[in-house]
Each structure stands twice: as C-alpha cells, then as structure tokens.
Chain A
C-alpha cells in the first residue's frame, strides 16, 4: 500500500459537478485491483478525515490512477479547485475489491455489471479486467444515471452497454432492474449469472430482491462514512447475515468494500 503525496496530472469536468482526476501514482497503479479505493486528503487542515474514492482505472505502465468524483460537499469542492501539477496526500489502494476469480465457475455463462451514479466509475476497471480474463464470457453492463450519461463509450470495448436514466434522457427509461429484466439471457437452469454492483442503497436493495428469483451470485460494493479508511477506528461496519442466521459486523474499509450481495443487510 502506498501513502504519500501524489501529483495531479489532469482534472477534467465530465458533466456539471462530476470530475475526472488523473494522478501520478506508479506504486498504487501497479497494486490496484478493481473495486479497491483510495483515501484522498483535503489540503485544508480543518478537514481532517479522508475522502474515500473508488479507483476508476489504473494504468501500471503509465503509472497513473484515474478517479471520478462528484462535488457533494466541502471536501470534494476543494478537490475540484486543485489543478494539474498540484500535489495532495493519498493512501491506497485500500480494501479488497471485487473477486474476479468467481468468473472461473463453469456454470457462469454471463456476467452482469451494474453501476448507479457514482458507483459506475469502479465498474470500468472491473469491466476491462473481466474482459481480459474471460474474453469468451459475455459481459452486460448496466449503468444507471439520473439524467444524461457522463460516461458510456469507455465501456464499449468490454461488453454490451445499456444505459438507463430516471428521465429517459438517453437509453432505457427506468431503473437498471427494468433494463436487466428486459435484457437478461439466462439460457437455462444449469447456468448461473454472476453480478457485480456498486451504487446507491435503493438500487442494491432492488437487485437483492430481483436476484432472489434467479440462479445468480452477486457481489456488492458498499459505502460507509469512514474515520480512517485503513481498519483502525471501527467506524465503518456493514451488517452481514451469516450462514447460521446471525448478524456479523465487518469493516467496509478493510474487509470490504465488496461483500456477497445476498449477505448484506441494509438498514
């Protein structure tokens, strides 16, 4: 894991209030796996806590990390003012990321990637890695936006891309569940679909109840308020249902942020 200052190579506004930041971080770029995140620290010392941001892409050759973030509060507002050449403190990669090896199961014939809002960026890194690992398995990518999509073409090389938006501004009008139901293949009972998701809680909850009707294995990437991001403060537990029916708390930052979808208990 890397922890030090890094240099911003580029910042670009993709849509109002949504920015892409490219960082020069060779060590982190080499280690990064899809679903992992980094802690970004605000330069203003009155904001103490890290801002966890998912890794959207990692290029070990160029030594770069790409992040996409939304301006939602004081910290991300500050990030948006930083310019190329400026340095900021970063820690990562953190967390465990998505288990790509689940795709090896022979019965898995199609892979679903579901992203909602700011849960979409980490899906890009995941889509590329899955496509490299299992070129023969079709990947169906469902991205849900509030309105106009701000990332789409980047996914094209890795699978079939479906955009859904609440207002139908582009692609499918409705939510990602409607889109998946419409597009699902699931040839027969002996096959299983593998699904990876990251997005707002209502979306994850909807996937949970939707998937119950099918032979499907899911992995959810969760968000939680973090005090440290590296397993020191017990600030970020997720509630998970264990096989014996008991509830177990596991830290999102260290043991997550990805957990088996069926086990997650949303409050």
Chain B
C-alpha cells in the first residue's frame, strides 16, 4: 500500500484518485472486460442528447502521427437509453459517474439535465459546449463568450448535479471562455475537447474522413492541452478536469502541476483499454520519486 494520498475533490465529488475517463472514449460494458472500474476516480459516459443522434457517415476515424481524428458526430442512443443501460450497469462499481451532455439548443441541453435530475448514480454533469448551435446557424456554443454565458447560466438552472463545462480548444483565447463559464455558474471546467483537424488521402485525392474534418486527439495534442489548463488555472477559481493526450503517470502529474484537480484519459482508452489502471499503478511511484505525499500539494505549482 502506498502512503501517497491520491484522493481529490472535484466540485464536491470525492474521487479516490484523480484519474477519470474522458467522454466518447469509454464504454462501461466494454472497458469492464479489462479492469475493475472501481479502481478509477471516476468515469465519464459518452455524450448523450435528449433523443438518439445518428452521428456522421463513415469513415469516422483516421490515424495521424501520435494521434487520431474522429467525426463520430455525437452518435448516441439518447438519455433514456443511457438511463436504462449504462447507469444501472454502473451500480456495481464504486466510482464517480460523470454524464456528458449534448444538445443543439439550450432547451435540448436542459431536457437531458432534467432527465438526469433524479438519477442517484450521476455525480456530476459535464456540458459539452462544442456542439453546433442550430438556432445560431450551427456555430458551436463554445466559441463565443457571450453565448457561453447564456447557455451555461441556463443549463446551470436546470441541472441538479454539480455542473462541469467542457471547453473547446478551437478558440483564440481560452481564458475568456473559461471566465464566461465561471461567471455563469459553472462548478468546474474540463478541457480540452478535441482540436479541429483534417487528413487527405493523396492517392484518392479525398479527405480521409467522410465528414472531411474531425476532432484531433491523442498524445500529439498534449502540449496544447497543458498550455490551456495552465492558462485557465491562472484565470479562474473553479477546479479543472484536465485532459488531452494523457498516456502515462508522468502526463497526469504534468496536468496537475499545470493546475488540474483531476485528469482524464481519452484516446488512451481506445489505444490500450487498460491504460488508466497502468497509469494508476505507476502514479504513486512517480509521486514518491518527486517527494510528494499528497497529490493536492502539487496542483498548479507552476508559476
């Protein structure tokens, strides 16, 4: 047994360790074949909307150097299906559950939050503001501070659990967006969502993804993510769930030093389903080597 304290508090939720899975890269039934989910600080379920979203045509996945592109397009069965399948399945595990929510309008986001209000198994709601806003011509909610303030304050009112707002990195100044979300009542922030990327198949003279462009994630994006967590930590008071390219225990420490309270693995869960438990096994050793007794000591220590 390690003497290093790993437990952290994320917006009121006590996590036994800072490791969480990122939305869209984790499936409870699929991943529980590889390890006991109770080992994790928490899990984030895939983005759900009020009703089924069919997602985008295929190919939805492309590999890039040290990363990947996806254009899944928030394909999901809707919140009621999640309530019937994933939430009951999570009953057997002792770990925090975060539900990531998607919507095309404030009303849609609120319908999801309301559907989750009575769900005891949901510890936190994570609002994905990278969704297209149909009412405003399809631009994402998350790229304009005024829009962020509007959607977050409205969704905060209709959400019972603490609300995490998940930020898009595809903005000029991430701190402006972070401050807008904080001012609107966000209890925590998570970042980063995927960067916007593209790959071209030169032989076919066509984009690799059917949707042409998609979300770029994986170890290749980590420096961007660490930089944004660092900047946002300096700009707001609310806790941060950091993510973007986390593959190792050292990466987790890097995000925490940059200012994250908890850290999520995303692409790593697809590349090596056992990644989070491998990281957790090594994390105490890495901290011991750094002379750290409590992981909370090093949060945001970078000046």
Contacts and interface: CB of A to CB of B under 8 A. Distances in A.
Question: Are A and B a genuine interacting pair, yes or no?
Answer: yes
A46 B61 contact: no
A267 B210 CA distance: 11
A249 B218 contact: no
B12 interface: no
Interface in B34-67: 34, 46, 54-55, 57-63, 65-67
Contacts of A254: 30
B55 A249 contact: yes
Contacts of A237: 55, 58, 60, 75
Nearest to B26: A232
B33 A233 contact: no
Nearest to A235: B61
B274 interface: yes
Interface in B251-296: 267, 269-274
A230 interface: yes
Nearest to B34: A3
Contact of B271 (A48, A231, A234): A48
A234 B75 contact: yes
Contacts of A154: none
Chain A contact-residue range equals 20 to 34
Contacts of A45: 66, 219
Interface in B13-37: 24-27, 29-31, 33-34
Contacts of B72: 233-235
Interface in A214-267: 224-228, 230-237, 249, 254, 267
Nearest to B29: A231
Given A232-B270, A234-B72, A237-B55, A47 B33 contact: no
A108 interface: no
Given A232-B26, A234-B46, A3 B274 contact: yes
Q: Majority SS of interface residues in chain B?
A: loop
Interface in A88-112: 89, 91
Interface residues of B, number: 36
B270 to A, nearest CB: 4
A233 B268 CA distance: 12
A48 B273 contact: no
A260 B57 CA distance: 20
A230 B269 CA distance: 11
A193 B58 CA distance: 32
B70 interface: yes
A267 B46 CA distance: 26
Contact of B66 (A48, A232, A233, A234): A48
A49 interface: yes
A1 interface: yes
A232 B24 CA distance: 8
B57 A267 contact: yes
A238 to B, nearest CB: 8
Contacts of A89: 272
Interface of A: 1, 3, 41, 45-50, 89, 91, 224-228, 230-237, 249, 254, 267
User: Which 3 pairs show the lowest CB-CB distances between chains A and B?
Assistant: A235-B61, A228-B270, A232-B27
Given A48-B66, A49-B270, A232-B27, 8 more contacts: A48-B68, A48-B267, A89-B272, A228-B270, A232-B30, A232-B269, A236-B58, A237-B60
Interface of B: 24-27, 29-31, 33-34, 46, 54-55, 57-63, 65-68, 70, 72, 75-76, 218-219, 267, 269-274
